[in-house]
Structure 1
Amino acid sequence: MYTRAEVYSPLQNTAIWLAAWLYSVESTDETVAALTDLGGRHSYGGQGLAALLLDARASADLSSHEPVVRLILWGPGQAAGLHAGSAAAEALGPAGAIVIKAAGGFSHVLVPRYWDDGVEWRWFEEKKRLPEPSWLSPGEADSLLSRATEQAAVLIEAAGGTRSDLPNPRLTVGTLADFYDTPGLPRGVTPRAAKVLARADRVAAIVETVTDRLGDHSYDPQLFALWRHIRTARMAGVADAVQDYRRASIS
């Protein structure tokens, strides 16, 4: 199994850039450039990224006390936060989805499909309230990932000394962590959100290094158990960043 699909999604940064644009923290030009870096050419109902952004702005309830933009990730051991059997749930792929909170309890679910040269978006409306996420704080999610990091570091040290084709696994981890963070986050992301997202990047890089780059699958049961914590940390970091944009907009 290719690990990256389970521990990384460009939707993490896409969701934060979208929120930064909705709250006028980032310009349209900067947002379009960042989203293009993250996904390539965007297709939305036969139109491009501009149409998607305009629909997002028209639909978002920026006064909502809940995060107006929310990230949904899912995978083994972790159900998606969508209604089972709904059109959005049926369309959901491994990359996850973005939820935009609308007025009146409505939610809009943006489901991407990534191709080699771009991303295709589908838009769904949910009239019923979506299942509640775990709503972990960045501190709680970071604590879980901190323990996961300690465990994963021991595993990679045990695996790294016996492979001549990858003599410096820690260097590989650093390179992969840089990849996960590209093209970076918009302005105004809280330090606590940035910290938990950076830790998620590093743990994901460790998991990928051991399983895919070192080709050592003897630790798969332990490493696979980390996937849920990585995804949860990404969702918690996005929610915190979005909420801080809202607080800043009304202060």
Structure 2
Amino acid sequence: MDMRAEVYSPLQNTAVWIAAWLYGYEPTDSLLDALKSLGGAHTWDGAPIADMLKEIRRVALTAEEEPVVRLILWGPGQAPGLPAGSEASKALTQAGALVVRGSGASHVLVPQYDDEVVWRWFEEAERLPEPSWLSPGEADQLLSQATDEAARLVKLTGYRTSELTNPRLTVGSLADFYDTPGLPSSVTPRAAKLFARADRVAAIIETVTEHLGDHSLDPQLFALWRHIRTARMAGVADAVHDYWREI
């Protein structure tokens, strides 16, 4: 199992950048630079990523409901918000998917992260299952509780070596990794706070399971994954709604 794929989400930042671009807060050049930082080269069924962006804009302009961009993450204990058995759900990887709402349909964009990012596009006429729709405050509270629990579990390991005298130093360096390449400056403070806290918990989990090599707490730590994913989705929803509300 790829632990990092469960706790790290380049798709989170991708969703915010695309929303900021759609609503006029970021130019195309800045979006393309951000996408390159989020996985390298991007292609859409063999076509340049710019073609996919044009199609996203075309679809979004037909939307009868707002906001139009949504992040879908899933994993153990958390089903994907897509119709069961659909082509989009079959194509899902651990990375998740983006949904762009159009007129009478939802367009599901599924990335495959490897040496480059390859996108696939699916159209769903059936209304997608509703997510939890937690408010930023509710998601933050759940993640705050998860943070306290994760930190307590790190302390219980009692892990000390000359390389990692203090496990929290590694947590800090990993948090810096998760934050790269950053978010648009226009992102809401509420969303940025949720993302930062999610990155912090993810870094703690990686410190224990990968850098400290302690898997005795895996069942407890893995239970935190759902809170991380939920916070990332709630943060994207808040940022996108704010972009839409301000236009």
Give the TM-score band, short-chain normalised: over 0.9
- Residue type at the aligned position of 1:27: P
Shift of 1:49: 1.3
What's the Cα RMSD here? 1.3
Distance in 1 between the 2:23 and 2:66 partners?
14
Contact kept, 8 Å, 1:10 with 1:39, in 2: the verdict is: yes
Shift of 1:43: 1.0
**3-state DSSP class of the match of 1:152?**
helix
Q: Does 1:51 align with 2:58?
A: no
Distance in 2 between the 1:67 and 1:236 partners?
13
Contact kept, 8 Å, 1:71 with 1:238, in 2: the verdict is: yes
Distance in 1 between the 2:33 and 2:158 partners?
38
Distance in 2 between the 1:162 and 1:115 partners?
34
Q: Flag the 1:23–1:83 CA change in 2: closer, same or farther, 3 A.
A: same
Shift of 1:51: 0.6
Show the counterpart of 1:25.
25
Question: Structure 1-normalised TM-score?
Answer: 0.95
Show the counterpart of 2:211.
213
Shift of 1:190: 0.9
Contact kept, 8 Å, 1:16 with 1:238, in 2: the verdict is: yes
Distance in 2 between the 1:88 and 1:171 partners?
40
Structure 2: gaps spanning 5 or more residues: none
Contact kept, 8 Å, 2:107 with 2:124, in 1: the verdict is: yes
Contact kept, 8 Å, 1:160 with 1:167, in 2: the verdict is: no
More displaced, 159-168 or 188-197? Answer: 159-168
Show the counterpart of 2:195.
197
- Residue type at the aligned position of 1:212: E
- Residue type at the aligned position of 2:110: V
Shift of 1:39: 1.6
Structure 1: gaps spanning 5 or more residues: none
Q: How many positions carry a matched residue from both structures?
A: 247
Contact kept, 8 Å, 2:67 with 2:240, in 1: the verdict is: yes
Over the matched positions of the two proteins, sequence identity in percent amounts to 68
Shift of 1:52: 1.1
**3-state DSSP class of the match of 2:47?**
coil
**3-state DSSP class of the match of 1:43?**
strand
Contact kept, 8 Å, 2:66 with 2:244, in 1: the verdict is: no
Show the counterpart of 1:124.
122
Shift of 1:63: 6.2
